[in-house]
Amino acid sequence: MSSAWLTTLAPITGIVVNAALQLLVAHTMRRTGLAIIIGFVGGLAATLIQTASNISQATTLADAIAVWPVVVLSYLGLSYNYWVFINLNITSLRIRTLRDLLHQSQGVPLSQLTAQYSVEEMLDRRLERLEHGKQIAYADGRWQLVSGRVLLLLHRTLGVMRAIVLPASK
């Protein structure tokens, strides 16, 4: 296979390595968060190594430089989609609803579903997850932010994006 194709397929190699490492760590160490991080870093390393090994074959210096953002962006896009897929399993109410409905032989009253997926339960699940991830802490009857800076930045970014993308009436 030519170096151009190996460079093109470097992000694909990366995501395969990402998934393989994530599966390995998830099943051996039983730590989802760590598995995701190790998978991401391992996949990125594989992507960069495969690209670097083939970059010398680029026709011009501009092409050699331009390949890096393309490859990294491709890998980040693939990784983000992979992470979203995994995260939906962990956090999405809608996915949980679908999985619960799978085991129902007949229709479920909407009132039962809305009672089952109450705001209280939603809050308690998330407080437990955030506390387990050491992003918040409970002391003297109150919850405090410990290290949720990344999530806070994400929240603010979403707010800005919402203002740009969605019409003012939404």
Partner 1 sequence: MAVLVIAALFFATSFLLQLVLWRIRLPKTQVLAILLLYLFVPIVITIAAYAFGFAPHLSAAEIVRICVVYVPVTLAYSAFYAALELSSPTLLIISRLAGSKEAGCERAELLEHLRTKLEIAYRFELLENSGLIRMTDGLVEITPRGRFYGEVFEYASRVFGLQKGG
Cα distance between residue 138 and residue 145, in whole Å: 9
The CA-based dihedral angle spanning residues 52, 57, 61, 67, taken in that order and rounded to the nearest 10 degrees: -50
Enumerate long-range contacts of 56-59, CB under 8 Å, 24 or more apart.
56/3, 57/2, 57/3, 57/4, 57/7, 58/7
CB of 83 to partner 1, least distance (A): 9
Site string for partner 1, 29-68 (x = CB under 8 A): -x-x--x--------------------------xx--xx-
Q: 52 or 161, CB closer to partner 1?
A: 161
Q: 41 or 84, CB closer to partner 1?
A: 84
Residues within window 62-101 making contact with partner 1, judged by CB under 8 A? 62-63, 66-67, 69-70, 73-74, 76-78, 80-81, 84-86, 88-99, 101
CB of 154 to partner 1, least distance (A): 6
Does residue 137 sit in helix, strand or coil? Answer: strand
Interface with partner 1, residue 4, by CB under 8 A: yes
CB of 85 to partner 1, least distance (A): 7
Cα distance between residue 123 and residue 57, in whole Å: 54
Q: 34 or 41, CB closer to partner 1?
A: 34
CB of 49 to partner 1, least distance (A): 17
Q: What is the DSSP letter of 167?
A: -
CB of 147 to partner 1, least distance (A): 11
Burial degree of 166 (CB within 10 A; 0-12, 13-18, 19+): exposed
Interface with partner 1, residue 148, by CB under 8 A: yes
**Are 97 and 113 a contacting pair, CB within 8 Å?**
yes
